[in-house]
Copies of this chain bind each other. A is one copy, B any other.
Amino acid sequence: MSIIPASHSDLFDLPAVWHVATIGPSGEPHVSPVWANFDGTHIRFPHLEGRQKWQNLQADDRIALSATDPDSSERYLEVRGRVVAFEHEGALELLDAQSQKYRGNDFPRGDAQPLDKRISVVVEPLHCTTMG
């Protein structure tokens, strides 16, 4: 059984924007939006090697994500966990699948450059808070 409650796991199937919090270089909180999915065990979101979140997560793998239901903003899920992998394999497939979910089409290859820096950040969920 997953730590993500069945009552709120559908948020990963909706085009709900996830806001990812990490710890910055001086221990300060950062937060920015990502696309994300959930395979029943791990949360994955597309990212690029070298970016700020990647840098933060190299130093501190603790992470939190929250999203609201696009049709009911008082229904939400917060997940806290740890990053357990940065995957190169399948990164473009995840990016395209998420682009399909959120935009309705594959991710444009021009924007996806450099392709070899594309990764999937893999999160093990450890604690959840829900509302609604």
A residues contacting B by CB (< 8 A) are 15, 17, 19-24, 27-33, 60, 62-66, 68, 73, 76, 78, 80, 102, 129
Contact = CB atoms under 8 A, between A and B. Distances in A.
Contacts of A66: 19, 31-33
Given A15-B73, A73-B102, A102-B73, A31 B27 contact: no
4 smallest CB-CB distances across A and B, nearest first, come from A19-B19, A21-B21, A21-B29, A21-B31
Chain A at the B interface: mostly helix, strand, loop or mixed? strand
Contacts of A102: 73
B64 A31 contact: yes
B73 A30 contact: no
A42 B24 CA distance: 22
A78 B32 contact: yes
A29 B64 contact: yes
A76 B15 CA distance: 15
Nearest to A18: B19
Contacts of A80: 24, 28-30
Given A73-B102, A102-B73, A23 B17 contact: no
A66 B22 CA distance: 13
13 contacts: A15-B73, A17-B68, A19-B33, A19-B66, A20-B31, A21-B21, A21-B30, A22-B29, A23-B28, A23-B29, A27-B27, A31-B64, A32-B129
